[in-house]
């Protein structure tokens, strides 16, 4: 049992974990697994001021100005937090064969334990595909 919540990040990988269409940032801290979505942040102060100046100068070209702007940075949106049964040592994303469209995660734990997990979209939770104990 964890007495205090973990305060530092120990592992970070990017994977198509929650969806086959969107890459996620998967972080681990102690026995916690965090899954973040990367959201483009197109609204910045420079973007707003340039758009306002352009509208005041040439209102006919507003759509072209707004559509030509590219995202300048990304924001993190926490999608899920999972509590696992032991402290996580390492994480590696993997994909098996052509039929699997999302990534699964190999997670190693203390005492030579290894688990292969994936996110199940029907129950919105983790599903263990395989567990191994090496002596």
- Would strands 104-109 and 22-29 be described as parallel, antiparallel, or unpaired? unpaired
pLDDT computed for residue 51 by the predictor: 52
Regarding pTM above 0.95, the answer is no
How far, in Å, CA of 91 to CA of 130, rounded?
15
For residue 55, being part of any structural domain is answered with no
Quick check: is 112 in a domain? yes
Other beta carbons within 10 Å of 35: 20
Nearest-10 Cα torsion for 31, 37, 38, 43:
-120
Q: What is the pLDDT of residue 45?
A: 46
In a domain, 91, yes or no: yes
User: Tell me, what CATH number does 107's domain have?
Assistant: 2.40.10
User: By residue range, what is the domain housing residue 81?
Assistant: 11-41+73-133
User: Would you state the pLDDT for residue 69?
Assistant: 58
For 11, the 3-state DSSP assignment is strand
Examine residue 46 and state whether it is found in any structural domain, yes or no.
no
CA 46 to chain centre: 27
Residue 2 lies in a domain: no
pLDDT of residue 79: 95
Phi then psi for 129, rounded to 5 degrees? -90, -35
DSSP-H helix ranges across the chain: 45-57, 62-67
> What string of pLDDT tens digits covers the 135 residues of the chain?
566 777 889 999 999 999 999 999 999 999 999 999 988 877 654 555 555 455 555 555 545 555 555 546 788 999 999 999 889 999 999 988 777 789 999 999 988 899 999 999 999 999 999 999 887
């Amino acid at each position: 049992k964890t007495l205090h919540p973990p305060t530092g990040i120990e592992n970070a990988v990017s994977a198509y974990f929650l969806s086959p269409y969107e890459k996620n940032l998967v972080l681990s801290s102690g026995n916690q697994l965090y899954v973040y979505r990367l959201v483009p942040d197109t609204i910045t102060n420079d973007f707003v001021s340039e758009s306002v100046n352009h509208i005041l100068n040439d209102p006919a070209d507003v759509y072209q100005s707004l559509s030509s702007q590219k995202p300048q940075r990304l924001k993190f949106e926490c999608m899920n937090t999972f509590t696992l049964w032991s402290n996580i040592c390492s994480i590696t994303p993997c994909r098996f064969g052509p039929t699997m469209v999302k990534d699964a995660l190999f997670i190693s734990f203390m005492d030579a334990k290894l688990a292969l997990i994936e996110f199940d979209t029907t129950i919105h939770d983790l599903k263990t595909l395989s567990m191994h104990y090496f002596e």
